[in-house]
Amino acid sequence: MQDRLFVLLQYIVPQHLLSRLVGALAESRLPLIKNPLIKLFAKQFKVNMQEAEREVLEDYVNFNDFFTRSLKTDARQIDSHPQHLACPVDGAISQIGDIKSGQILQAKGQDFSVTTLLGGQPAWSAPFQDGQFTTIYLSPKDYHRIHMPCDGKLVRMVHVPGQLFSVNQATAENVPGLFARNERLVAIFETEFGPMAMVLVGAMIVASIETTWAGLICPPGRQINTWEYVEQGAIYLRKGEEMGRFKLGSTVILCLPKNTCEWNSELQPGTSTRMGQMLASTATMPMDD
């Protein structure tokens, strides 16, 4: 009953207005606002500040600066095996497996379209129709920067406006097509293993999504916005490099073509992840440089 009331409330509240108000609060640099907010959050969610580059809470200019904090250089180890994909984020596996006839499993009895998820163009989703996917949920205490699972060249970025439902287990089980109806950013890369889609899904009170190449992504209006990246000025990111970040966290969905990899058998729904650990073993040898 609590879950149903929680989900019902999200249909009623002004999602975008609430998110903008929280976003403004998270950007406040006033010590009387940001310091108690950061301290309360760190205590409530037992944030491990010993691995943060800046351990002193007062050193952060605002809550968003704290939330997207960088880690010490030795805090995470990137799996360096050339045939392994590295996990892009700290979090927990929500779902992992195969995309079946263009449908991605959301929760028991719930799935959604990979075409809708990636922006609605069949040509964009064609390589992934019977492919593979994993959905990773970032909790409030997690490190909220997103890193590359492998080397890749950016081909396309798509901003898809939408709702801002929470993305926890309760909403995943009760909101149809949750991840394909929430606001999201889609980044398509060419990799030595084939195309790869990384989808950064917004959520309730997520103030913004940023990428390392375009900064803050918040186009006006409710139209899908697309950026194509050609050879001139091409953007290459190496395995383990940061590609984006959430200001107030959410979910990352990784999509791959059919038979690209074998998922790490230790990663099952509910399993915690650490950025950089082995996510999968690729099915084919990488091409020579």
H-run or E-run covering 242: strand 242-247
Are 43 and 182 part of one and the same domain?
no
Are 268 and 136 part of one and the same domain?
yes
Catalytic residue among 90, 111, 142, 151: 90
pTM for the full predicted model: 0.89
Predicted confidence (pLDDT) per residue in 16-27, tens digit: 656 666 767 788
16 an active-site residue?
A: no
- The single-letter code of the amino acid at 75 is A
Residue 75 within any structural domain of the chain = no
Q: How many domains does the chain have?
A: 2
Judged by average pLDDT, the poorest of 22-31, 100-109, 139-148, 216-225 is 216-225
Where in the sequence is the domain holding 27, given as residue range(s)?
2-67
Catalytic residue among 84, 144, 147, 159: 147
Predicted confidence (pLDDT) per residue in 51-98, tens digit: 999 999 999 999 989 999 999 999 999 999 999 999 999 999 999 999
Is the Cα torsion angle 100, 118, 178, 198 positive or negative in sign? Answer: positive
250 an active-site residue?
A: yes
Give residue 286's pLDDT band: very low, low, confident or very high (50, 70, 90): very low
Predicted confidence (pLDDT) per residue in 233-253, tens digit: 789 999 999 999 987 668 999
Say if residues 42 and 69 touch (Cβ distance below 8 Å). Answer: no
Catalytic residue among 125, 166, 208, 250: 250
Q: Taking 80 as the threshold, does the pLDDT of residue 232 lie above it?
A: no
Are 220 and 106 part of one and the same domain?
yes
